[in-house]
Structure 1
């Protein structure tokens, strides 16, 4: 009986020691998941809008909070059916064909680092072929009358670096984003013609 008491006492002491040790030894914090590296910014290398001279942005870029979250991974530009679609910068056509019933053109832009930037345009009836070199402003297709997700006919313009979506409007230099052309003010003392 005496052995049972010592055994029970020993078990109790061991449990108390373990509980005290657990309270006294703080658990090291678990490292948080490292944030993905910020994508390299897109250089303002575009020389033209994909459609028109200054199309209305029907829906702006809305980056998703996470890879699979809700968002808008490009911009929608108003454009009538049949309007020409142009490459915004020099590059090589990496895809020209149909995806899920929509015409799509992708252009890998020249000299934009590793991984290179890639622009996408849809719904577009391609007039270029895969591996074709294109220049800024070159027509690469025309707006298809159907297949758009907009309430009006539009072109969805996307920009990716590897698998990361970026705002395609960041490719446009400030002078292309302005609505009105710059105007010089008259010089004081000089009469207007």
Structure 2
């Protein structure tokens, strides 16, 4: 499906409708990298806004009004009205038009006029990758083993050093 891009700047909701904040997430990406739809939906817009390429997708089955994702700056490879699937390439990252210090994709999520955190669309395992770590449990006796439930037959008993 592709690589997991780093989050360069997270979602910082404004205190008021017109207040300062960051109404999306900036994902690190190199110019020309594919941009994929996070979920299935219908392309609402694919074109230029204020000199930047923008793709907007209304997500299928997300209520009324539907959730809407936006991606910019993106050179669209889809057209308005087109159905897209989760993971489908909707365009490529443009070399210019990013508001990041490095090239990035600004990914937004809205319901109506309300901005939401786009990372909320991702499963927790994707947000917090890495191996599971089992830590030792101290002060808990080892489980009993034996042929009768609850009976300690001595099978599997452990000899602990006495420290002498």
Unpaired runs of 5+ residues, structure 1, are 1-47, 185-193
Map of 1:74 onto structure 2: 24
Higher strand share: 2
Seen in structure 2, the aligned counterparts of structure 1 residues 88 and 181 have a Cα distance that, compared at 3 Å, is: farther
Instruction: Give the whole-Å Cα distance in 2 for the aligned partners of 1:182 and 1:118.
Output: 33
Seen in structure 2, the aligned counterparts of structure 1 residues 83 and 66 have a Cα distance that, compared at 3 Å, is: same
Higher helix share: 1
Specify the SS of the correspondent of 2:120.
helix
Report runs of 4+ in structure 1 exceeding 6 Å deviation.
Answer: none
Instruction: Give the whole-Å Cα distance in 2 for the aligned partners of 1:183 and 1:130.
Output: 46
1:177 positional shift:
1.1
Unpaired runs of 5+ residues, structure 2, are 135-164
1:152 aligns with 2:102: yes
What pairs up with 1:38-187 in 2 under 5 angstroms? 52-180=2-130
1:53 positional shift:
2.6
Instruction: Give the whole-Å Cα distance in 2 for the aligned partners of 1:183 and 1:104.
Output: 41
TM-score, structure 2 as length reference: 0.78
Specify the SS of the correspondent of 1:129.
coil
Q: How many residues of Structure 1 are paired with residues of Structure 2 in the alignment?
A: 135
TM-score, structure 1 as length reference: 0.67
Specify the SS of the correspondent of 1:152.
coil
